[in-house]
Amino acid sequence: MLKVTKFGGSSMADAGQYRKVRDIVLADPERKVVIVSAAGKRNSDDHKLTDLLYLCHAHTKYGVACDPIFDMITSRYLEIRDELGLSLDLESEFAELKKRLDAKQVSKDELASRGEYYSAKLMAAFLDFDFVDAADWIFFNMDGSVDKQTSYDALKKVGSGKGIVIPGFYGAMPDGRIRTFSRGGSDITGALAAAALDATVYENWTDVSGILMADPRIVENPQPIPEVTYDELRELSYAGAQVLHEGTIMPVREKGIPVNIRNTNAPDDRGTFIQESFDTETDPHRVITGITGKKDFSIITMFKRGMTSQVGVLRKVLSVLERHGISVDFVPNGIDNVSLVVRTDAIAKHLYAIMAEIQQEVQPDSLEVLDNISVIAAVGHRMAFRPGVSGRIFNALGEAGINIRMINQGPDELNIIFGVDNKDFAEAIRVLYNSFVK
């Protein structure tokens, strides 16, 4: 029986956090595999090490010395080492790295990866576990995807039987160069390790007691979600709840491994369980699993009399966007009208060309763009085929004086998505939360 554990940046921020991590890992002999992030912020004014590493690389790229930033980075690690009383020689590794950095021999990805690398070195020493470099088993294909089978086979072969600590966030390209995942990617490293080793659970330790029903920066003290299915989570993350990197689910889902989000600062809390489905649920009467959203969308709406009876209108419109390489998030429609909901930053540069092309190809009776739209999603598998849920949502928003600009529901009825003005974003989430949770 094996549990894979991943500790995020805030769990690795200073020596005090390292002690909490050690207590958690050693409390359960099945916690034999530990994935760590780079040190995160110690308080709201602090810096994430990964951000400092990117900043340092940008300096050297433009020929500006990054010595003060480099010193900030190394001293964070030296401080942790000394406070924990470890006798690891980091100084010579730092000196070697700095030499190569000054000679412009360190790529952006390699430098960024050093945040997790040093975290893992320190945590391995502190736990007396083996250090296993991610570059020795996570292998990328040339297109940036992970060669899962080769990677899994490689991880199965390492280790001396003791526990292991692996740096998150990166792996190796076919030529050996280091490549990172996108930001937040240590979550993926943990998922790959869990899948490779057929773990019974993938524990993802962070600074909240699970996935919360709404963003804690918007709703005060939102309740944690006790159980969420992989599908619901995908909807929640797509629409804005960024707790896990979206690349995390696939590797564990393929192997049927549950994910448990836990809080390093409150280790007794049960957190959130994520799996395919649940036989029993903590709160089977909960209609909505979670509420999330994102700001800054645009809605292009066209109206054309008799549109339903004409073949190919929608295809023509979508192919205009395809030509400009823009993906469309939602396509709500009526009888003689259709809207395209897209991210404003994706479309901004192309907007005039796109409008002109749609005008020319479809000749709509009217064509309008609405900016500053937020898309909000209420997600929950229990909403499916339950009458009255959308009515309740729209009533609550109406009573609060919030205008609804767009409505969209997927055919699986896992979510109800609607658009409001950006200025109403936070209030709309609070209104929904209060009307469904309290």
Judged by CB under 6 A, the residue of 152, 169, 330, 418 near ligand ASP is: 169
Q: Which stretch binds ligand ASP (CB under 6 A): 184-192, 247-255, 350-358, 424-432?
A: 184-192
What CA–CA distance (Å, rounded) separates 378 from 366? 31
Judged by CB under 5 A, the residue of 115, 184, 210, 332 near Mg ion is: 184
Decide: is 215 part of the binding site for ligand ADP (CB under 6 A).
Answer: yes
Closest distance between ligand ASP and the C-beta of residue 111, in Å? 12
190 binds, among ligand ASP, Mg ion, ligand ADP, none (CB under 5 to 8 A by kind): none
Judged by CB under 6 A, the residue of 163, 168, 258, 293 near ligand ASP is: 168
Decide: is 113 part of the binding site for ligand ASP (CB under 6 A).
Answer: no
CA distances from 85 to 19, 22, 26, 78, 165 (A): 12, 14, 18, 10, 19
Decide: is 247 part of the binding site for Mg ion (CB under 5 A).
Answer: no
CA distances from 335 to 73, 134, 321 (A): 59, 54, 21
Closest distance between ligand ADP and the C-beta of residue 38, in Å? 9
Closest distance between ligand ADP and the C-beta of residue 272, in Å? 8
Closest distance between ligand ADP and the C-beta of residue 16, in Å? 16
SS3 31: strand
Decide: is 186 part of the binding site for ligand ASP (CB under 6 A).
Answer: yes
Q: Which stretch binds ligand ASP (CB under 6 A): 61-69, 155-163, 179-187, 301-309?
A: 179-187
| Main-chain dihedrals φ then ψ at residue 249, nearest 5 degrees | -70, -45
38 binds, among Mg ion, ligand ASP, ligand ADP, none (CB under 5 to 8 A by kind): ligand ASP
Decide: is 60 part of the binding site for ligand ASP (CB under 6 A).
Answer: no
User: Bridge partners of 36?
Assistant: 7, 167
Judged by CB under 6 A, the residue of 216, 256, 306, 312 near ligand ADP is: 216
Written as six digits, the tokens of 157 are 């072969």
Which residue carries 């080769």 as its tokens? 150
CB within 8 A of 220, min separation 6: which ones? none
What CA–CA distance (Å, rounded) separates 419 from 375? 5
CA dihedral of residues 20, 23, 28, 31 (deg, nearest 10): 60
Decide: is 182 part of the binding site for ligand ADP (CB under 6 A).
Answer: no
Decide: is 208 part of the binding site for ligand ADP (CB under 6 A).
Answer: yes
| Measured CA angle at 2 (ends 231, 126), to 5 deg | 110
Q: Burial level of 90, CB count in 10 A (0-12/13-18/19+)?
A: middle
Q: Which stretch binds ligand ASP (CB under 6 A): 152-160, 178-186, 382-390, 426-434?
A: 178-186
In sequence order, what E strands does 17-93 have? 31-36
Whether residue 260 contacts residue 204, with contact meaning beta carbons closer than 8 Å, is answered with yes
Written as six digits, the tokens of 336 are 């003689």
Residue type, 75: S
Closest distance between ligand ADP and the C-beta of residue 65, in Å? 30
Q: Which stretch binds ligand ASP (CB under 6 A): 180-188, 216-224, 261-269, 315-323?
A: 180-188
Residues that bind ligand ADP (CB under 6 A): 8-10, 37, 40, 184, 206-208, 211-212, 214-216, 241-243
